[in-house]
């Protein structure tokens, strides 16, 4: 180090400059850690891009971060043209995952293998499990306190897999890990409204169970504002919601649903945002760690959300005979899916 350099480094002026720079850095760090940042992993994907467009319109989100192993920059540049206050950031490649996740308050996972768009729910496990495991490891290093919303299929197994990875890293909080099942609620609301001749916006049908064919259970006996259905209508709506994934793949010639799914995923994410912003009475159904049924450790039920995630699990509504029968058939299927995810995370498969 030169003499001049030494003088400058030790002069009172330089000390003041150093202190000012340090203060500025801590102010910036404080500001960054207090913004409401939502990160979408798998952000360059078909559904995720639509989710991002919907989230960009929310005045409650300060920063929307798009992260993917595929290019995010061009999409994010265009997204940033939408004239809303929410700032857009974008990172491409695993070497930037830290930057993408740091300071996130909510992380939505839609990352998935490219070959899964026309597969059944269970067939998506093998291609997606490693992607999920790696992302959750990064999550546990860089933003373990964020709310984690998992859309990647099969949700029934991915949530237990993620939970085990978080446990192994000592950062698991069951109140902050969600499997997104809002797609089923949105479908149940629309199908019930159509049968009843009501405006879909006014209809709410809770959906319990899991997110795969026979584990999706619309609780039409608790449909609001009206739960009056014939047996034939009950069966038509229930089977319609359960088979919607397959039906869309057939209708779209080997591509799964995008639009309604993105709408549903953004609705759930915005409910998490509202809960973090301390809005009251935020109720959503989601697939979470649960002790409401002795046959399974995870179950979708209605939840009251708050700033710390699940404020209260509202449990199972009183079920009709038909719904009870569907649930009892679904529980062993869900329990198997749970074991599959847990075993993978523990390296047993
Ligand atoms: N829970 C639900 O209601 C819904 C779930 N899904 C699921 O969401 C996932 C995404 O669906 P699509 O958008 O159709 O798939 P997609 O194939 O269009 O997009 C997946 C994206 O993930 C990225 N990706 C892969 N590995 C990654 C990694 N390690 N880190 C970050 N990004 C990575 C890919 O590059 C791709 O851009 C699927 O698993 C799908 O089944 C889709 C709709 C509804
Ligand atoms: O797997 C997908 O891409 C879509 C999905 O979950 C559904 O349609 O329920």
Query: Residue 299: left (phi > 0), alpha (psi -120 to 50), or beta?
Result: beta
Catalytic site residues? 211
Cβ of residue 149 lying under 6 Å from some atom of ligand 2: no
Tell me whether the omega of the peptide bond preceding residue 225 falls within 30 degrees of 0, making it cis: yes
Cβ of residue 183 lying under 6 Å from some atom of ligand 2: yes
68 labelled ligand-binding: yes
* CA neighbor of 126 nearest in space, from 139, 112, 136: 112
Average per-residue pLDDT for the chain: 92
Residue 40 has what pLDDT?
98
Whether residue 193 is predicted with pLDDT greater than 50 in this model: the reply is: yes
Cβ of residue 70 lying under 6 Å from some atom of ligand 1: yes
CA 46–ligand 1 middle distance (angstroms): 7
pTM (predicted TM-score): 0.93
Whether residue 291 is predicted with pLDDT greater than 70 in this model: the reply is: yes
Residue 7 has what pLDDT?
37
CA 109–ligand 2 middle distance (angstroms): 14
Whether residue 34 is predicted with pLDDT greater than 90 in this model: the reply is: no
Q: With contact defined as beta carbons under 8 Å apart, do 300 and 207 qualify?
A: yes
Cβ of residue 261 lying under 6 Å from some atom of ligand 1: yes
Average pLDDT over residues 34-42: 96
The tens digit of pLDDT for each residue in 127-156 reads: 999 999 999 999 999 999 999 999 999 999
* CA neighbor of 298 nearest in space, from 235, 259, 265, 341: 341
Cβ of residue 293 lying under 6 Å from some atom of ligand 1: no
Q: Cα-flanking dihedrals φ and ψ of residue 61, to 5°?
A: -105, 125
Average pLDDT over residues 254-271: 92
Pairing status of strand 147-150 against strand 298-306: unpaired
Instruction: At 288, list the tokens.
Output: 């979470």
Separation of CA 109 from chain center: 6
CA 113–ligand 1 middle distance (angstroms): 7
State whether residue 57 is helix, strand or coil.
coil
Lowest mean pLDDT among 24-33, 46-55, 236-245: 24-33
CA 145–ligand 1 middle distance (angstroms): 23
Q: Which ligand 1 atom is the nearest neighbour of the CA of 49?
A: 13
Give the closest ligand to the alpha carbon of residue 287: 1
Residue 26 banded pLDDT, cuts 50, 70, 90: low
Q: Produce one character per residue of 280-315: b if its CB has 16 or more CB atoms within 10 Å, e if not.
A: eebebbbbbbbeebeebbbbbbbbebbeebbbebee
Average pLDDT over residues 202-214: 97
Residue 8 has what pLDDT?
40
Residue 2 banded pLDDT, cuts 50, 70, 90: very low
């Amino acid at each position: 180090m030169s003499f001049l350099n030494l003088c400058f480094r030790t002069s009172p002026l330089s000390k003041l400059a150093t202190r000012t720079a340090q203060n500025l850095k801590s102010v910036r760090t404080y500001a960054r850690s207090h913004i409401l940042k939502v990160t979408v992993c798998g952000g360059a994907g078909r559904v995720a891009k639509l989710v991002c467009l919907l989230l960009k319109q929310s005045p409650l989100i300060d920063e929307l971060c798009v992260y993917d192993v595929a290019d995010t920059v061009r999409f994010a540049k265009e997204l940033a043209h939408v004239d809303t206050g929410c700032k857009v950031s974008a990172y491409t490649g695993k070497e930037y995952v830290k930057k993408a996740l740091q300071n996130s308050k909510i992380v939505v996972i839609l990352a998935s293998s490219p070959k899964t768009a026309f597969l059944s729910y269970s067939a998506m496990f093998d291609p997606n499990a490693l992607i999920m495991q790696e992302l959750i490891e990064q999550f546990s290093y860089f933003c373990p306190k964020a709310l984690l919303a998992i859309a990647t299929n099969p949700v029934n197994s991915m949530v237990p897999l993620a939970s085990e990875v978080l446990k192994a890293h000592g950062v698991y909080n069951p109140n902050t890990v969600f499997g997104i099942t809002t797609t089923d609620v949105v479908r149940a609301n629309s199908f019930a409204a159509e049968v009843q001749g009501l405006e879909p916006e006014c209809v709410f049908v809770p959906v319990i169970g899991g997110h795969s064919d026979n584990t999706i259970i619309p609780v039409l006996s608790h449909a609001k504002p009206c739960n009056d259905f014939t047996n034939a209508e009950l069966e038509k709506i229930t089977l319609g919601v359960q088979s919607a994934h397959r039906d869309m793949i057939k209708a779209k010639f080997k591509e799964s649903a995008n639009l309604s799914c993105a709408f549903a995923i953004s609705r759930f994410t915005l409910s998490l945002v509202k809960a973090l912003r301390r809005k009251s009475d935020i109720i959503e159904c989601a697939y979470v760690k649960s002790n409401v049924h002795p046959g399974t450790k995870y179950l979708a039920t209605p939840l009251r959300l708050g700033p710390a995630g699940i404020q209260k699990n509202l449990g199972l509504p009183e079920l009709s005979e038909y719904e009870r029968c569907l649930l009892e058939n679904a529980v062993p299927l869900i329990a198997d899916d749970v074991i599959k995810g847990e075993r993978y995370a523990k390296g047993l498969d």
